[in-house]
A and B are shown apart, each in its own frame.
Chain A
Amino acid sequence: MRLNSVKYLFKQGTRNIAYNKLMAFASFCVLLVSLLLVGFSLLFYVNINLLVADIEAKNEVIVFLDEDTSDERINSINKSLKAMENIDTVVFYSKEEAFAHLKASMADSEVLFDSMGDDNPLVDSFKIRIKDINFTDETVSEIEKLDNILSIRAPLEFVDILTGLKRVISIISVSIIIALIIVSMVIISNTTKASVFARRKEISIMKYVGATNAFIRIPFFVEGMLTGILSGVAATLTTWFGYDALVRVLTQDNDILKIFGTGSLVPFKDLALSVAVSYMVAGAVLGAIGCVISTRKHLKV
């Protein structure tokens, strides 16, 4: 095909949008709403995951050591803990630090601590962050096998609840997103079908003068793709303003997020590029495929 013909077909595609303004606007709106529904659901999912990860990160396992464990042995335990696969960070917490912390936190009971003199009843410990809380049980068992371990405090029940919560949130979120994608596809398909149906005569004329299916489809493809990209741009801007406004309301005015134990939502600027690209690619693909598939029926002339 000549370059001149390719240019002509692309020009026809853009002209068709201007000519079929109403149907193009309908397709644009349907694509926009579909992209926003799926996009906001995904953003909700991303933030819920962040919230859970935040709670997960606060989860701490404390390993208490036997009284009078030697410095050499403490070093050795430190190394062993760091070598364990599911352990993220290991921080040594000496009994002196612990005692000072206890005193500071119980400033009202100064008399009690004075009577104890230098006698420190506490023991040395390690504060550990677990990488994957699903395997907390296994990691605790592994630590227990080490010598000079007095006891381990691990929030196993909390881990169970959190893991369950994560699973439920994932299932619900993914189900909602899949349902929204399916509903969007059906609506998009019907809108493009209506748009193409309105132009079935035009398609049949093209067929009668000997146009190939590809020749007829390319302008529709371009038209659908451009409408999709425009919807993607509009969806990005709407999400940007909408999401930022939501973040402002939730973080500044009401401190609602603090109820959930987290300080903030993922800022839009961190997601902007992936959101914009996803919206535009999804819009372009859905628009183009929708248009091309809808023409198929009318090409059988």
Chain B
Amino acid sequence: MVELKNVSVKYPSGVEALKNVNLTINDGDFAFVVGSSGAGKSTLIKLILREIEATKGTVIVNGFNLSKLKRDKIPKLRRTIGVVFQDFRLIPNMTVYENIAFVLRVIDAPLKYIRKRVPYVISLVGLQHKVHSYPDELSGGEQQRVALARALVNDPQLIIADEPTGNIDPELSYEIVELLKGINNCGTTILMVTHEHDLVRHFGGRIISINSGSVVFDEIIGGNDEIK
């Protein structure tokens, strides 16, 4: 669960990226966060990942009160969140298997579990045949699926997808969102930042629109796939 109460973020440059934001994303939600460039979407993600701190207000993520969270506890928070970035951010000198297994290494998971869990997650994103490939040997869509597998391998409570379809072909974009929807159906909360309105219209669901640092729209709308 993500809860923002009267949250404002002001950067040292004086730019006020978020202004008195109140937002609750419940467990099991699937929410699209939309908004133009500079609206405050990235700031929202940085805030949830505790990359930055709120200047004002309270942020609670998966039970962690971020304004009271000590620096050495940040890794613990991040282990409850899976992140998918627009530019994939895979470690280039690790294979598909190693990139995904790395998340489990970080939490000191037993080797037996890693050997069982990683192939399973790879099969979920349909990349069984690319297990030993390196990121630069994969297409954009495949890299994003690896990033997705990495995000869900440790069974996080929340997955944040920051423009996950921004660097891939439009037809693959639908595939990625379908995958996210599938993960969401299993109970994981998904927060997807995007500026692709076609995608949002197609899938529908909860739409949070941010403009100039404020939440200007937060409603559930029906998608085209539902209408069909």
B-chain residues with CB within 8 Å of residue A301 when the two chains form the complex: 51
Say yes or no: A215-B106 contact (C-beta < 8 A), given A209-B78, A209-B150, A210-B79: yes
Shortest CB–CB separation between residue A197 and chain B, in angstroms? 15
| A-B pair number, CB within 8 angstroms | 52
**B91 is an interface residue with CB less than 8 A from chain A:** yes
CA distance A258 to B64 in the complex (A): 78
Q: How far is it, in angstroms, between the C-alpha of A136 and the C-alpha of B4 when the chains are bound?
A: 84
Main secondary structure on chain A at its contact with chain B? Answer: helix
Q: A19-B93, A207-B78 are in contact. Are A1 and B108 (CB under 8 A)?
A: yes
Decide if B200 is an interface residue (CB 8 Å cutoff): no
Distance of A8 Cα from B108 Cα, bound (Å): 11
**Contact call A16/B93, Cβ cutoff below 8 A:** yes
Whether A205 contacts B90 in the complex (CB less than 8 A), given A210-B76, A212-B75, comes out as yes
Indicate whether B103 reaches chain A with its CB closer than 8 angstroms.
yes
The answer for the CA separation of A210 and B92 in the assembled complex, in Å, is 18
Chain A 271-301 interface residues, beta-carbon cutoff 8 Å to B? 301
- Tell me whether A2 and B78 are in contact in the complex, defined as CB-CB below 8 angstroms, given that A205-B89, A208-B89 are known contacts: no
With both beta carbons as reference points, the residue of chain B lying nearest to A202 in the complex is identified as B91
Q: Smallest Cβ distance from A229 to chain B, in angstroms?
A: 22
CB distance from A205 to the nearest CB of B (A): 5
B83 touches A208 (CB 8 A): yes
Chain A residues near B103 (CB-CB < 8 A): 209-210
In the complex, A4 has a CB within 8 A of chain B: yes
Q: Which residues of A contact B138 (CB under 8 A)?
A: none
> CA–CA, A4 to B75, complex, Å?
20
Q: Which of B80-127 contact A (CB under 8 A)?
A: 83, 89-93, 102-103, 105-108, 110-111
Complexed CA–CA distance, A257 and B91 (Å): 58
**Smallest distance from the beta carbon of B97 to chain A beta carbons, Å?**
13
- Beta-carbon contact of B93 and A2 below 8 Å: no
Within the assembled complex, what's the spacing in Å between the Cα atoms of A20 and B77? 31
B interface residues, how many (CB within 8 angstroms): 23
Chain B residue at minimum C-beta to C-beta distance from A205: B89
Q: Is A211 an interface residue (CB 8 A)?
A: yes
| Complex contact A208–B78 (CB within 8 A) | yes
Contacts of B91 in A (CB 8 A): 202, 205-206
Instruction: Give CA–CA (A85, B121) in the complex, Å.
Output: 82
* B161 proximal to A (CB < 8 A): no
> Which 10 pairs of residues, A with B, have the shortest CB-CB distance?
A210-B79, A210-B78, A19-B93, A210-B75, A211-B106, A209-B103, A205-B89, A212-B75, A4-B111, A208-B83
Instruction: Report which B residues bind A (CB closer than 8 A).
Output: 49, 51, 72, 75-79, 83, 89-93, 102-103, 105-108, 110-111, 150
10 additional A-B pairs beyond A205-B90, A207-B78, A209-B106, beta carbons within 8 Å, are A8-B105, A202-B91, A204-B89, A209-B83, A209-B103, A210-B76, A210-B103, A211-B106, A212-B106, A301-B51
Subset of 28 A-B contacts with CB under 8 Å: A1-B108, A2-B110, A2-B111, A8-B105, A15-B93, A16-B93, A19-B93, A20-B93, A201-B89, A202-B91, A204-B89, A205-B91, A206-B91, A206-B102, A207-B75, A207-B78, A208-B49, A208-B89, A209-B78, A209-B79, A209-B83, A210-B75, A210-B76, A210-B79, A210-B103, A210-B107, A211-B75, A212-B75
